[in-house]
Amino acid sequence: METVQENSITLPPATLPHLHNRTPLWTVRGRINKRLYQLIALASFLLLLGLWWGISASGVVDPLFLPGPGAVAQCFVSWLFDQDLLNDTGISLYRVFAGFGLSAVMAVPLGLYIGAYQPVRAFFEPLMEFSRYLPAVAFIPLVMLWAGIGEGSKISLIWIGTFFQMVLMISDNVSRVPLSQIEAARTLGATNTEVVHKVLLRSAMPAIFDTLRLTLGFAWTYLVVAEMVAANSGLGYAILQAQRFLQTERIFVGIIVIGVIGLVTDQTLRWVHRKLFPWAKQ
Partner 1 sequence: MSTLFVSHLSKRFDAFEALRDIDLTLQTGEFVALVGASGCGKSTLLRIIGGLETRSTGRLEVDGKPIAGPGHDRAMVFQDYSLYPWLTVAQNVRFCRGLKIYSKNQSSSEIDDSIRRSNLLIDLMGLTRVRDARPNQLSGGMRQRVAIARALMAQPDFLLMDEPFGALDTQTREVMHDLVLHVKATERSAFLFVTHDVEEAVYLADRVIVLAPNPGRVDSVWPIDLPARHQSLKMTPEFLHIKREITDRIRATSGMYSDLAALQALSGGA
In the complex, the residues that contact partner 1 under the rule CB under 8 A are: 178, 180-181, 183-191, 194, 198-199, 202-203, 205, 277-280
- ∠ CA 100-106-110, rounded to 5°: 135
Query: Which residue, 146 or 176, is less far from partner 1 as judged by CB?
Result: 176
The Cα 102–Cα 44 span in angstroms is: 35
Min dist. Cβ of residue 274 to partner 1 (A): 14
> Helix crossing, 235-244 with 201-229: angle to 10°?
30
Nearer CB in complex with partner 1: 94/277: 277
Question: Do 68 and 53 touch, CB atoms closer than 8 A?
Answer: yes
Question: Phi/psi class of residue 181: alpha, beta or left (left: φ > 0; alpha: ψ in -120 to 50)?
Answer: alpha
Do 92 and 235 form a contact (C-beta atoms < 8 A)? yes
Smallest distance, Å, CB 183 to partner 1?
5
Nearer to partner 1, 150 or 186 (CB): 186
User: Considering the complex, what minimum distance in angstroms separates the CB of residue 230 from partner 1?
Assistant: 43
Question: Rounded to the nearest whole angstrom, what is the least distance from the CB of residue 186 to partner 1 in the complex?
Answer: 4
Q: How far is the CB of 189 from partner 1 (least distance, A)?
A: 3
Taking the least distance from each CB to partner 1, the nearer of 87 and 191 is: 191
Q: How far is the CB of 277 from partner 1 (least distance, A)?
A: 7
Alpha helices (runs of H) in the chain, residue ranges in sequence order: 2-10, 17-20, 34-58, 69-81, 85-116, 118-132, 140-147, 151-175, 179-187, 192-194, 201-229, 235-244, 248-276
Nearest to partner 1 of 167, 177 (CB atom): 177
What is the b/e burial string over 77-104, where b = at least 16 CB atoms within 10 angstroms of the residue's CB?
eebeeeeebeebbebbbebbbbbbebbb
d(CA 92, CA 201): 31
**For residues 201 and 230, which CB has a smaller minimum distance to partner 1 in the complex?**
201
